[in-house]
Structure 1
């Protein structure tokens, strides 16, 4: 996963998931996805789509885009839904991998300052602090 992310950063010179998705030919759409779905990734007729819940705060839209980009890069051919953590669905291996991909991509080229808490670090680089719950096994 680290090599995959490093190759994306090197080739496209950005860790912005929106820019990377567009550069990779993935169509991004925003729409109301209801109360529990934050985003989804799907393929249709060899076209790839990321759909992001349009009522999410900007930092969540960015994280969801990175998460769904993770599905595109790591889980080719599998359609996925990113469900609210309070749903009754336990995040499986593929979801944890996509979350870790998103976290690594968004934190690329940035390290926590000495004695900086994880929450402060996430806030500084624009990652929702709740993300730590999404990446745990």
Structure 2
């Protein structure tokens, strides 16, 4: 899917439901979100069981990471239900840029959680680094870097930054 269409998926959800809270968005979409023990290294997963849509989150994640994983799984719900019907989508590592479905879900996640205007204000007016923006916006630096890279690809005059694709392993 093209980048501008991915952005529209996240923006549409935020506008329609009037929130950037992925748990509220999931509820509005009819997705059941559950925290599960004993997930080991698994961060979360999205599945459909008997036409019921579920996001299952590792209960050992901190609140900020639960928000990120939930928003990422909403991306799969909106974009990849056909893939999920063939099997569960499990998240051991976020920010996997080698997998097209994972990249697409990450872009939707960044659009749900990170307001573009707020990010641009922090960059242009406040002159904050990606790390400072992540702290202020209660998110992960890698999600901020992904958002900046995506904005750069869309024509904003921003410097791309490196991020670790394996930081959650």
> What TM-score do the two structures reach when normalised by structure 2?
0.70
Deviations 1:88-117 (A, max 9, x none): x98511112111211221002522413110
- The aligned counterpart of 1:102 is 109
Q: Does 1:133 align with 2:140?
A: no
- C-alpha separation between the residues in 2 aligned to 1:35 and 1:104? 28
- The aligned counterpart of 1:47 is 52
Choose 53-62 or 97-106, whichever is displaced more: 97-106
* 8 A contact 1:31–1:53 mirrored in 2: yes
Q: Does 1:71 align with 2:46?
A: no
- C-alpha separation between the residues in 2 aligned to 1:123 and 1:83? 23
For residue 133 of structure 1, give the secondary structure of its aligned residue in structure 2. coil
- C-alpha separation between the residues in 2 aligned to 1:81 and 1:92? 13
* 8 A contact 2:9–2:108 mirrored in 1: no
- C-alpha separation between the residues in 1 aligned to 2:38 and 2:23? 19
- Which structure has more helix as a fraction of its residues? 2
- Which structure has more strand as a fraction of its residues? 1
* 8 A contact 2:23–2:67 mirrored in 1: yes
* 8 A contact 1:33–1:39 mirrored in 2: no
Q: Does 1:82 align with 2:87?
A: no
> What TM-score do the two structures reach when normalised by structure 1?
0.85
